[in-house]
Copies of this chain bind each other. A is one copy, B any other.
Amino acid sequence: MVVETTTYDPHGFPPFAVTVDVVVLTMSDGRLHVLLVRRGVPPFEGMWAIPGGFKRPEESLDEAAQRELLEETGVDGASLLRQFGAYGDPERDPRMNVVTIAYIAVLRDVQGIAGGTDAVAAALVPLSQILNGKIELAFDHAQILRDAVERVRTDLALTGIATAFVGPTFTLAELRAVYEEVWGVQLDAANFRRSVLAEKGWVISTGRRARPGPEGGKPAELYRAGRMWRHGAPIRYAQPSGKRRGSK
C-alpha cells in the first residue's frame, strides 16, 4: 500500500470541502463565554453554531482562521489563534463531505465583540449553557466546543494562554479568576500571588494601581505580562475539588 500512498494521481482524488471554525472564548462578567452565530438557513436553521467558513485555495489554514476571526470579531490577531483539532466524519454535514479544522481564539472581553458583524446573528453565550445541554449546537459543534474547552484547560498550565483572557494590564485577582473559572477551582490568593511573583518575568509591575470595586478594598497593583509566558505558565493544574478557599 506504500506505493498507493506515495504515487497518488493528482487528478484522481476524492474532493472535500475544507472549512475553518474558530472557537472564540472570552471571560465576560467573570464567566467563560463563547462567540456563536445563529444559522439562518437549513440544515440546523435557527440553531447556534461556531463561526467558520471555507478555506480558500490560496491561503494557509492559519491565514484562513485569522481571516475568519477578523471577519467575525474585527480583531486581528494571529498570535491568539491555536489549532486544536480536525473533524471529518462523513455525516457531520448532512449535505456534503466537509472536513473542518478547528481553532481556539482567546480574547479579552470586549464590548461589542461582535461589532463587525450582524448583531442579531452573533452573540456571546455562557459556556455553561452549552456544556450542560441547555443550548444545542448545530452539526458536531458541541463536541468541537467540548474539545476546545479541554484544550484550554491543559493549555492554561502549559502555555501563557491565561494572559490572553485579560487586558494589557491586569490585577493578579483578574488573572487568578481566569484559572479559577476555567479549571473550576478556588485558588488561594496569597499562594497564587507568590507563584506568579516568585520568578521575575511572569508579571511585571506597572507601578499603577486599579480602582477598587464598588464594595471597597485595597487598590490592587496593575501588572503586565512578561516574556516567560511564552515558555509556560507559573501555575500548576489544580484538581477541581472544591475544598479550597479564596481570600474572601
Chain A residues in contact with chain B, CB under 8 A?
1-8, 10, 13-18, 37-41, 49, 51-61, 64, 68, 71-72, 83, 85-90, 95-97, 99, 101, 116-118, 121-122, 154, 158
Which residues from chain B contact A97 at a C-beta distance below 8 Å? 57
Task: Using known A-B contacts A10-B95, A61-B99, A99-B99, determine if residue A53 contacts B18 with beta carbons closer than 8 Å.
Answer: no
A140 CA / B58 CA spacing, docked (Å): 17
Q: Are B5 and A37 in contact (CB under 8 A)?
A: yes
Separation in Å of the A146 CB from the closest CB of chain B?
15
4 more CB-based (< 8 A) A-B contacts, given A6-B40, A16-B18, A83-B86: A1-B116, A2-B51, A5-B37, A5-B51
Q: Which residue of the partner chain B has the closest CB to A50?
A: B5
Partner of A2, one of B54, B58, B122, B158: B122
Q: Are A117 and B17 in contact (CB under 8 A)?
A: no
Q: Which residue of the partner chain B has the closest CB to A120?
A: B2
Which residues from chain B contact A61 at a C-beta distance below 8 Å? 86-89, 99
A54 CA / B90 CA spacing, docked (Å): 14
Which residues from chain B contact A83 at a C-beta distance below 8 Å? 85-86
- 6 example contacts (A-B, Cβ-Cβ < 8 A) are as follows A1-B71, A3-B118, A14-B17, A15-B15, A55-B99, A61-B99
A85 CA / B103 CA spacing, docked (Å): 11
A40 CA / B7 CA spacing, docked (Å): 7
Partner of A57, one of B5, B68, B90: B90
Q: Are A5 and B53 in contact (CB under 8 A)?
A: yes
Separation in Å of the A194 CB from the closest CB of chain B?
20
